[in-house]
Amino acid sequence: MMQLNETHDPALRSWLASANTGSTDFPIQNLPVGVFRRAGSNEPFRGGVALGDQILDLAAAARADVFQGLAGQATQAGADSTLNALMALGHSVWSAWRLALSRALREGADAEAALKPCLVPQQDAEFAVPARIGDYTDFYTSVHHATNIGRQFRPDNPLLPNYKWVPIGYHGRASSIGVSGQQFHRPLGQTLAPGSSTPVLAPSKRLDIELELGVFIGSGNALGEPIAITEAEDHVFGLCLLNDWSARDLQAWEYQPLGPFLAKNFATTISPWIVTLEALAPFKVAFERPQDDPQPLPYLDSAANRDAGAYDVQLEVLIQTPQMRQAGQPAQSLVQTSYRHAYWTLAQLVAHHTVNGCNLQPGDLLGTGTLSGPTLDQAGALIELTEGGKRPLTLANGETRSYLEDGDTVLLRGRCARAGAARIGFGECAGTVLPARPVR
Name, in order, each residue with C-beta under 8 angstroms of 91's C-beta and a sequence gap of 6 or more.
218, 219, 234, 235
Residues 28-50: pLDDT tens digits?
999 999 999 999 999 999 999 99
The residues pairing with 121 across neighbouring beta strands, listed in sequence order, are 54
Range of the domain at 106: 6-128
**pLDDT given at position 155:** 84
Q: Sign of torsion, CA 366 372 373 378?
A: positive
The letter for the amino acid at 432 is: T
Q: Is 439 part of a structural domain of the chain?
A: no
The residues pairing with 128 across neighbouring beta strands, listed in sequence order, are 35
Q: Looking at residue 205, what DSSP letter applies?
A: S
In terms of domains, do 38 and 170 share one?
no
Counting the structural domains of the chain, the total is 2
Q: Is 344 part of a structural domain of the chain?
A: yes
The letter for the amino acid at 136 is: Y
**CA neighbours closer than 13 Å in the CB half-sphere of residue 257:** 0
**pLDDT given at position 1:** 58
- Out of 8, 91, 145, 352, which one is annotated catalytic? 145
**pLDDT given at position 13:** 98
Distance (Å) of CA 217 to CA 29, 69, 343: 22, 23, 20
Distance (Å) of CA 235 to CA 169, 214, 305: 19, 14, 15
Measured between alpha carbons, how far is 157 from 263 in angstroms, rounded to an integer?
24
- Ramachandran category for residue 351: left, alpha or beta (phi over 0 → left; psi -120 to 50 → alpha): alpha
In terms of domains, do 387 and 421 share one?
yes
What string of pLDDT tens digits covers the 440 residues of the chain? 578 999 999 999 999 999 999 999 999 999 999 999 999 999 999 999 999 999 999 999 999 999 999 999 999 999 999 999 999 999 999 999 999 999 999 999 999 999 999 999 999 999 999 999 999 999 999 999 999 998 888 888 889 999 999 999 999 999 999 999 999 999 999 999 989 999 999 999 999 999 999 999 999 999 999 999 999 999 999 999 999 999 999 999 998 898 899 999 999 999 999 999 999 999 999 998 999 999 999 999 999 999 999 999 999 999 999 999 999 999 999 999 999 999 999 999 999 999 999 999 999 999 999 999 999 999 999 999 999 999 999 999 999 999 999 999 999 999 999 999 999 999 999 999 999 999 88
Q: Is 210 part of a structural domain of the chain?
A: yes
Q: Is 67 exposed, middle or buried (0-12, 13-18, 19+ CB in 10 A)?
A: buried
Q: Is 311 part of a structural domain of the chain?
A: yes
Q: Looking at residue 106, what DSSP letter applies?
A: B
CA angle centred on 199, ends 193 and 202, rounded to 5°: 85
145 labelled catalytic: yes
* 257 preceded by a cis bond (ω within 30 of 0): yes
Q: Is 1 part of a structural domain of the chain?
A: no
Q: Is 345 part of a structural domain of the chain?
A: yes
Distance (Å) of CA 132 to CA 51, 174, 228, 281, 434: 24, 9, 25, 26, 26
- Ramachandran category for residue 427: left, alpha or beta (phi over 0 → left; psi -120 to 50 → alpha): left
Q: Residues 86, 33: contact at Cβ < 8 Å? A: yes
Q: Phi and psi (nearest 5°) for 224? A: 90, -5
Q: Is 440 part of a structural domain of the chain?
A: no
In terms of domains, do 282 and 421 share one?
yes
In terms of domains, do 105 and 147 share one?
no
Last residue of a domain, one of 78, 99, 128: 128
Measured between alpha carbons, how far is 325 from 365 in angstroms, rounded to an integer?
32
Measured between alpha carbons, how far is 285 from 313 in angstroms, rounded to an integer?
10
**pLDDT given at position 157:** 84
DSSP 126-190: EEE-SS----EEEE---HHHHHHHHHHH-TT--S-TTTTTS--EEE--STTEEETTEEEEPPEEE
Say how many C-beta atoms besides its own lie within 10 A of residue 327's C-beta: 9
In terms of domains, do 386 and 331 share one?
yes
In terms of domains, do 274 and 403 share one?
yes
Q: Is 178 part of a structural domain of the chain?
A: yes
Residues 89-129: pLDDT tens digits?
999 999 999 999 999 999 999 999 999 999 999 999 999 99
In terms of domains, do 165 and 278 share one?
yes
- Ramachandran category for residue 425: left, alpha or beta (phi over 0 → left; psi -120 to 50 → alpha): beta
In sequence order, what E strands does 339-440 have? 365-367, 393-394, 400-401, 409-416, 424-434
Last residue of a domain, one of 128, 163, 195: 128
In terms of domains, do 228 and 350 share one?
yes
In terms of domains, do 407 and 283 share one?
yes
In terms of domains, do 117 and 187 share one?
no
The letter for the amino acid at 192 is: L
Q: Sign of torsion, CA 17 22 27 33?
A: negative
Last residue of a domain, one of 128, 147, 170: 128
| CATH number, residue 92 | 2.30.30.230
Say what angle helices 69-78 and 91-105 make with each other, to 10 degrees.
90
State the pairing for strand pair 236-243/211-217. antiparallel
| CATH number, residue 286 | 3.90.850.10
In terms of domains, do 75 and 153 share one?
no
In terms of domains, do 100 and 145 share one?
no
